[in-house]
Chain A
Amino acid sequence: RKEVEQDPGPFNVPEGATVAFNCTYSNSASQSFFWYRQDCRKEPKLLMSVYSSGNEDGRFTAQLNRASQYISLLIRDSKLSDSATYLCVVNPQSGGSYIPTFGRGTSLIVHP
């Protein structure tokens, strides 16, 4: 089983739709969680951290479920500019340092 798994998609949705991505992780010792966005041929950019209590930033909501070992990202009122690949990142803690683990990414295509 891969350490971090994501549905690669693509998710093809119309403008204004609500779309949700899940990401599962296998290391129960994981300490911190993030969603990144990567546009084609560009570097990943931090979208949001994922806190235990869940957090919201405008149209984006992130949730963490430690018991089931998954994190989710919900995008409401999708815009054309949301089209990108969304990467889930999990940081396990090991001996005081950490090695970030990336999912393969979920591709989102928002169409008019």
Chain B
Amino acid sequence: GAVVSQHPSRVICKSGTSVKIECRSLDFQATTMFWYRQFPKKSLMLMATSNEGSKATYEQGVEKDKFLINHASLTLSTLTVTSAHPEDSSFYICSASPATSATYNEQFFGPGTRLTVL
């Protein structure tokens, strides 16, 4: 159990276009999902916390108008990179915790989306 999917797994786009990444919890409900970015050989960087039915909470330095997050249901969160530029090229990963995970808050990660902006 506790499977998280992400789509697409890889995307190549031209500078200036917007890219939408979907994160789904397949066999559990997740009131909270997290979006991370990881550059090559660097650690995961939390971008934002996505809460179902409310606005996302962004980490310092992450532009909320650039990275639009929508958490429309308990099983789906989307990240839209608007007007993407080459410096946005990165590995984007989402994670989710089962709503029933009371104490230990285990996170399960999606397989990631590799974004390349030309």
A positions within 8 Å CB-CB of B: 31-32, 34, 41-46, 49, 87, 89, 91, 97-105
Contact A34 B106 (CB under 8 A): yes
Can you list 7 residue pairs at the A/B interface with Cβ under 8 Å? A32-B105, A34-B107, A91-B105, A97-B32, A99-B46, A104-B42, A105-B43
Give the number of residues in B that approach A within 8 Å (Cβ atoms).
Answer: 21
Contact B49 A46 (CB under 8 A): no
Known: A43-B110, A44-B109. A49 touches B104 (CB 8 A): yes
Helix, strand, loop or mixed for chain A's interface? strand
A20 to chain B, nearest CB (A): 20
Chain B residues near A103: list those with CB within 8 A. Answer: 43
Contact A100 B43 (CB under 8 A): no
Chain B residues near A89: list those with CB within 8 A. Answer: 107
CA distance A91 to B97 in the complex (A): 12
